[in-house]
A and B are shown apart, each in its own frame.
Chain A
Amino acid sequence: MIYRRIFGVPGWETKNPFSELENMRRQVDRLYQGLFSSSAQPAAGVFPLINLTEGKDRYMIRAELPGVSSDELDIQATASTLSLAGERKIPEENNGAKYHRRERESGRFSRVISLPGEINPDKVEASLVDGILTIVVSKAEASMPRQIRVR
């Protein structure tokens, strides 16, 4: 489209009618990126948040699960994934209590964690202590690093 410039040097200018809006949108996008970037972005906001670390012969997965007992936790392992499901319950206080604050949440959760290498699903150990879940997963024999000797 051909616009006539109203202010400034009189003349004609070919312009995309949406360029102003596009400029604004780009600026707003940049602002939003600044707001939401943090040290770690949780994968699709799935509960619980996990920390995954690797050792020479195993992977370790840790999660914060306050108020969850081991019988409310279901952990399953396949050759390359680990699934974690359960429910966090908050027991009812039935003595005519009047709540001033209610910040804690309860509910079901389910998360599948893909591991970067093959694991041995028969050698998985999990412990739940003080609300911290620690899962130690042994790597599959085939994917353990092997020392190669040079002749």
Chain B
Amino acid sequence: MTDSKEIKVKEKLGVTTPAEQTVPGRVFTPEVDIFETDKAITLLADIPGVKPEKLNIDLRDNILTITGDVDRLESADEEFLALEFETGRYYRQFTLSEVIDQVKIDAKLNLGVLRLSLPKVAKAAPRKIAITAG
């Protein structure tokens, strides 16, 4: 088959966050792809509508938290004829099994997709330990 398959609709999953939101509105779980190589863990998240200044990436105690806010797209004077999706905050949290070199974390936001590269800390090279007599 040379034709690519048809993409099916998937409604966004709403989620309740562990702590209460200070900003009112809906919270959604973005779809992600996570893959790992020897050098790094890479995360790709679909977060359409999030501008770089509204994106927050936090890594502490091996917990990665991604938060992105989307402003209301429609202006107040528009009348709704069809409403099939809503916008709000994107939120997702992951526990990382590997130790990450925080200084080298790279985040790119393009076409509404976040590409987060988390380089792993290089394993300590084997070292010969000298023994002094005494």
Q: How many residues of B contact A (CB 8 A)?
A: 41
In the complex, what distance in Å separates the CA atom of A64 from the CA atom of B90? 13
Query: What are the nearest 3 A-B pairs in CB distance?
Result: A131-B112, A131-B48, A107-B7
Q: A51 with B82: in contact, given A60-B74, A104-B32, A131-B46 (CB under 8 Å)?
A: yes
Q: Is there contact, CB below 8 Å, between A66 and B33?
A: no
- Quick one: given A53-B80, A55-B79, are A46 and B35 in contact (CB under 8 Å)? no
**Residues of B in contact with A (beta carbons under 8 Å apart):** 3-11, 31-38, 42, 44, 46-51, 73-74, 77-86, 109, 111-113
What is the number of contacts between chain A and chain B, taking CB atoms within 8 Å? 145
- With most chain B CB atoms within 10 A of its CB, the pick from A103, A106, A132 is A103
Contact A67 B8 (CB under 8 A): no
Q: Are A67's CB and B112's CB within 8 A?
A: yes
Which stretch in A25-33, A76-84, A93-101, A138-146 binds the other chain? A93-101
- Minimum distance in angstroms from A88 CB to a CB of chain B: 6
Alpha-carbon distance between A83 and B79 when the two chains are bound, in angstroms: 21
Q: Which residues of A contact B49 (CB under 8 A)?
A: 64, 130-132
